[in-house]
Structure 1
Amino acid sequence: MCTNYVLVKTSGATQLAERLGVSHNDLIYGTNFKPGSLISIVTGSDGGHVVRPAIWWLYLQQTAEGLKPHKDFFSVNTNYRKVPKKPEYRQSRCIIPATAFVESQDGKKPHLLKPADGSAIAFGGLYKEWVDKVTGELVYSASIITLAGINPLKDIHRKSMPLWLPEDAYEDWLSPAIIDTSRLDYLLEPALRCDLMATPIDRTYSKVPAGEAFLIPSQF
């Protein structure tokens, strides 16, 4: 699931940033975020919410050139079944803003999925903090939580879908004070928060339309 997504500067992205209490100008924008990319995450703190740059790959390894994605752990996603055992679920939750994402069936027939109403998506994720021993800098890394598959997407990606947070859950998800995750477990049920426009594309990275777009109704 979701190893490629998009965040472009739209009114939906601006509105999501405002809802999260951060500046849309602090977000990293792009049309081709892929594993290992530098992305924007929003985290909670005692002073409010903060936008941070993060490597999209939760587990890093120290190299002579600095911190890099750990080649033995493909960790852009974290499966919901493993989440309860992760200390990050209790201590280091984040939101990853997006305006569209790509899904495919067994690596074939990719589709670009984006909210039909022009809104932005708040993916629920986990993050880690690292200190780069080469530069001494603090480095963040992140993954998107993946849930069970959902029926409306079964013909596009049957196995799983990303955790898409509802607006009324943003504060609790980002709150460092909430370490009793039983309050959040209801969010680990798959849901489409609004109607999606699905466009067949030629390839995940190029995203050239390869067919007519169609509507997928919301389900939650």
Structure 2
Amino acid sequence: MCGRYNIIDDPAIRDLLAYLGIRQYLQTTYNIAPTEMVPVIRQGESGVELCRMRWWLVPSWAKEPSTQYAMFNARAEGLAESRAFRHPFKRQRCILPASSFIEWRKEDGKQPYDIRLREGALALAGLWDCWGEGSETILSCTMITTDAVPGFRHIHSRMPVMLERDMLQQWLNPEIDGRSLMPCLMSNLPGPLQVVPVDTRINSSRVKEKPEPIAAGEIIE
């Protein structure tokens, strides 16, 4: 499960956007939590585009928006069978650009860790859907998770799917059926991860400050 992440307007994020042909900048935002509006990259009618969506997927067939079920993450293993995710998985895939994500480990309470690539920004795999009609439409998304690689399991058993650069165009292409892209969702790292314990203040989603390290981190490869 991944329930928080950060976006920093820096050269790494700008390089990822430029690689995908996006000529916009992202505002630095810390401790992003489910149900908040987030920047999402998807294939639009005129090409790859950046838009804002609610980070908590509302299926197009739902009677009304609801937070009864945790729809901010989608397990990679069940996408093709899930009633909520199977349609978006076929044609409505997206990327959530991120500088880092937060995960917790049970120590003396819940200890948060800030996790980022040692080099570059993260392209996190997601799905999107559109609920409603006319002026009452809601664009929403979910972040896909997979089994953690062995070196990460002492932090958490799950991790977000971090896409390799050479997978991005395929992932966004709606002409490709998602079932043929299952290899993209395997447990894998696009590069070494830097994992740093940070101050527990960010355990509250109301705190929108830069996560402050409290000890030396480690590198996971």
Q: State the one-letter code of the partner of 2:189.
A: L
1:141 is paired with a residue whose SS is: strand
Q: Determine the structure 1 residue equivalent to 2:123.
A: 122
Gaps of 5+ in 1: none
Q: Determine the structure 1 residue equivalent to 2:155.
A: 156
The offset of 1:28, in angstroms, is 4.7
Q: Determine the structure 1 residue equivalent to 2:69.
A: 73
For 2:55 and 2:44, the matched residues in 1 are separated by 21
Identity percentage of aligned residues: 25
Give the TM-score of the pair, scaled to structure 1. Answer: 0.86
Match of 1:172 among 158, 170, 173: 170
Alignment of 1:83-102 (within 5 A): 83-85=79-81, 86-102=86-102
1:113 is paired with a residue whose SS is: strand
The answer to which of 10-19 and 189-198 deviates more is: 189-198
> Do the aligned residues in 2 keep the contact of 1:44 with 1:176 (CA within 8 Å)?
yes
For 1:208 and 1:183, the matched residues in 2 are separated by 40
Q: Determine the structure 1 residue equivalent to 2:47.
A: 48
1:13 is paired with a residue whose SS is: helix
Q: Determine the structure 2 residue equivalent to 1:16.
A: 16
For 1:62 and 1:182, the matched residues in 2 are separated by 27
Whether 1:188 and 2:185 are equivalent positions in the alignment is yes
For 2:58 and 2:123, the matched residues in 1 are separated by 22
The offset of 1:132, in angstroms, is 6.1
For 2:93 and 2:183, the matched residues in 1 are separated by 15
Give the TM-score of the pair, scaled to structure 2. Answer: 0.86
Dislocated runs of 4+, deviation >4 Å: 60-63
2:219 is paired with a residue whose SS is: strand
For 2:52 and 2:31, the matched residues in 1 are separated by 16
For 1:189 and 1:156, the matched residues in 2 are separated by 18
The offset of 1:137, in angstroms, is 4.3
Number of residue-to-residue matches in the alignment: 206
The offset of 1:139, in angstroms, is 2.3
- CA displacement 1:163-183 (0-9 Å, x = unmatched): 11111111111011112x342
For 1:156 and 1:143, the matched residues in 2 are separated by 22
The offset of 1:8, in angstroms, is 0.8
> Do the aligned residues in 2 keep the contact of 1:115 with 1:195 (CA within 8 Å)?
yes
